[in-house]
Amino acid sequence: VFTSDNVPQAPEDPMFGLMAAYRRDTVEKKVDLGIGAYRDDNAKPWVLPVVKQADEILRKDPNLNHEYLPIAGLADFTSAAQKLIFGADSPAVKEKRVATYQTISGTGAVHMGGLFLSKFYPRPSDQPIYFSSPTWVNHNQIFSNVGLSSKTYPYFSTKTKGLDFEGMQSALESAPEGSIILLHACAHNPTGVDPTREQWKEIAKVIRARKHFPFFDCAYQGFASGNLENDAWAVRYFVSEGFELCVAQSFAKNFGLYGERAGAFHFVTGPGPDAVNTIGRIFSQLAILQRSEISNPPAYGARIASIVLNDPALFKEWEANLRTMSGRIIDMRKKLRGKLEELNGKDGSWRHITDQIGMFSFTGLTEKQVLKIRGDAHVYMTKNGRISMAGLNTGNVEYTAEAIDKVVR
């Protein structure tokens, strides 16, 4: 049945192409700024010390076995995940208005949300979901795979290299009433640009007025600012305002558990007499979706995260580990900006490097410049000019700044 005529060759994932080109490059001074995972100052993967401790605790547990987890996941993990994102005093958690499922990391959580909404969102099936322009590339495929079409709202201003707040606001105002709006909870990927708290409040106002449904993708809590509360502020604000919403939560970046696929999907109903009944029904439907797709989520990463999240001393240590990662990244932002300004005059044109937050920065470099840096200096970044701060270290940041400086002159 299948021939090369009826199965077209899929386009190569641009990230994989970039990684392969980097690996092939034999020049020693090459720099990988495509990388989507934290690296230490020696450009090496970093196992969080607190994760090592949790791993030892886990290995010593005489009752450890390899049975299936429940369909909803490890209960100690999902309850701690709720508290982490919504806060221990969250009205939604206290009033039992949250349905939580352990998922295959953040990707699986985004997918679970998309699948649930594609089946149950009470709107015309051709109503699109709205993404920021640009957004994490995978959003497009995850939602189109479940049959949801998408449109975009303006987000990044190429002029200011910051948020196009007016553009975003007016697009949300003119989107059809009751649209699903995908929002990055913090450390927007790929731009590194987040709304301020005042701007979030305005965004909430428009979403409320237009009866839109907010869907938060939260892949960087604690990793962005080093402070778990700060990075969850937008989600908590929306919940405190009584919004019905959902959240895809990843533990890949903040625990360095990339390959272990620890994540959670949360659905929150708005307060009201029907809230608990509705959440019970949503929970029951999510069970069917989970069962048919993965049956039972993977245990190891959730066990590690759960040990840390439920132990006050380990939790504190985790916060210190988060500050180590976010602190190194913030330091690299300062060093990169400092060197660029030293080379290029302090005209403020590199301010966005330190204004932006999280793993990524949108440099404003054009595709032509990106390719020239790759060819001339062996510095690898995605064609949209996004650089991963995790790829910078004290050994290569000045070299990278010089390479960037050469192509922008």
Q: Examine residue 114 and tell whether it contacts ligand PLP (CB under 6 A).
A: no
Question: Reduced to 3 states, what is the DSSP secondary structure of residue 280?
Answer: helix
Distance CA 408, CA 1 (A): 53
The interface mask with ligand PLP, positions 184-213, x = CB under 6 A, is x----x------------------------
In the complex, minimum distance from the CB of residue 369 to ligand PLP, in angstroms, rounded to a whole number: 24
Active site residue 217: yes
Distance CA 34, CA 387 (A): 6
Q: Which of 164, 217, 231, 335 is catalytic?
A: 217
Contact assessment for residue 380 and residue 184, using Cβ atoms and an 8 Å cutoff: no
- 213-218/360-362 β-pairing: unpaired
Active site residue 25: no
* Torsional sign, CA 91, 96, 102, 106: negative
Q: What is the DSSP code (8-state) at residue 357?
A: -
Ramachandran angles phi, psi of 286, nearest 5°: -65, -35
374-393: contacts with ligand PLP (CB under 6 A): none
- Interface residue with ligand PLP, options 34, 73, 87, 106 (CB under 6 A): 106
Distance CA 236, CA 90 (A): 8
Distance CA 3, CA 296 (A): 34
The alpha carbon of residue 19 and the mean position of all alpha carbons in its chain are separated, in whole angstroms, by 20
Q: Examine residue 219 and tell whether it contacts ligand PLP (CB under 6 A).
A: yes
Q: Examine residue 263 and tell whether it contacts ligand PLP (CB under 6 A).
A: yes
In the complex, minimum distance from the CB of residue 244 to ligand PLP, in angstroms, rounded to a whole number: 21
Q: Look at residues 338, 385, 343, 395 and name the one whose alpha carbon lies nearest to residue 361.
A: 385
Q: Examine residue 254 and tell whether it contacts ligand PLP (CB under 6 A).
A: no
Q: Examine residue 105 and tell whether it contacts ligand PLP (CB under 6 A).
A: yes
Q: Which is nearer to ligand PLP, 32 or 217 (CB)?
A: 217
Distance CA 353, CA 405 (A): 14
Q: Which is nearer to ligand PLP, 378 or 386 (CB)?
A: 386
Q: Examine residue 221 and tell whether it contacts ligand PLP (CB under 6 A).
A: no
In the complex, minimum distance from the CB of residue 305 to ligand PLP, in angstroms, rounded to a whole number: 12
* Torsional sign, CA 5, 11, 13, 18: positive
Q: Which of 161, 253, 335, 339 is catalytic?
A: 253
166-185: contacts with ligand PLP (CB under 6 A): 184
Q: Which is nearer to ligand PLP, 222 or 401 (CB)?
A: 222
> Which residues are identified as catalytic?
136, 217, 253
Q: By CB under 6 A, name the binding residues for ligand PLP.
A: 36, 105-107, 110, 136, 184, 189, 217, 219, 250, 252, 258, 263
